[in-house]
Structure 1
Amino acid sequence: MEDVTKTRVEQLIDYIMKNCLWQFHSRNWDRKRQNENILGMTTKLLCGEPVTPETPEDKCYWVDAFCLAEAYRERHPWLATLGVDQIRELMAKLHEQLDFQTITGSLNEELSDQHY
């Protein structure tokens, strides 16, 4: 990952780690699903694409995605200088890093405990 992209991903993850409670779901599968949905919707919102939540679960993800997109726009004006493909690439790298930090690289054994 190039230095500018790496720095930007770190800035975006830093916001999630400090401000988003949804990162603390108690199971791997729930974290995976939430990361995919929230970051997927956030990506669409940042790219100016419509997001139409249909289920109650989708609506919960949409609220988190909307708040995250707004916070990103407010705190990181450099986002406005990126094209749609660049935003998609950046958000894909963010998603990959977030999954590592909250799921695959986590030392929290309760995330995969079948009896918890």
Structure 2
Amino acid sequence: MIDPKKEKMNQLVDYIMKNCLWQFHSRKWDRERQNENILLKTKQLLVGELVKTDTPEDKCYWVDAICLADAFKSRYSWITDMTKEEIEKLMNEVKERMDLITIYGSLNLELTDPRY
């Protein structure tokens, strides 16, 4: 039997893997920044917090986060029934999984090539 909490995390990760091009940056540091900033801002949007948009970089991440948060809310109705704490925990788990899949567990050697 699949843990319902893990299934929710898997659904969100699956959506990102199939629909978000930002996960395919070719350098490790790019992927780390993308995962950190887009998923943080998505979490903030989902729980109704203010999102920092002071710099052009912040604004870029914010736009991706808006698209992601809107997709999550429209595709996964269960997310609107979750508490703020549950969403924060879920999004932290999504980030950990995305980091594992796209960075630390990746076999793409270009990610760590210093000449790239």
Q: For this structure pair, what is the TM-score category when the shorter chain's length is used for normalisation?
A: over 0.9
Aligned to 1:49: 49
Q: TM-score, normalised by structure 1?
A: 0.97
Identity fraction in percent: 57
Matches within 5 A, 1:56-95: 56-95=56-95
Matched residue of 2:74: which SS? helix
Matched residue of 2:52: which SS? coil
C-alpha separation in 2, matches of 1:55 and 1:33:
14
Aligned to 1:30: 30
Structure 2 unpaired stretches of 5+: none
Letter in 2 for 1:105: G
Structure 1 unpaired stretches of 5+: none
C-alpha separation in 2, matches of 1:79 and 1:107:
32
Deviation at 1:51, TM superposition (A): 1.0
> C-alpha root-mean-square deviation of aligned residues, in Å?
0.9
C-alpha separation in 1, matches of 2:41 and 2:5:
20
C-alpha separation in 2, matches of 1:18 and 1:59:
23
Q: TM-score, normalised by structure 2?
A: 0.97
Deviation at 1:30, TM superposition (A): 0.8
Matched residues, number: 115
Matched residue of 1:91: which SS? helix
Cα offsets for 1:20-47 (capped at 9, x unmatched): 0000111111100110000000000000
Name segments (4+ residues, structure 1) moved above 3 Å: none
Matched residue of 1:35: which SS? helix
Matched residue of 2:15: which SS? helix
C-alpha separation in 2, matches of 1:101 and 1:8:
17
Deviation at 1:65, TM superposition (A): 0.2
C-alpha separation in 2, matches of 1:5 and 1:28:
28
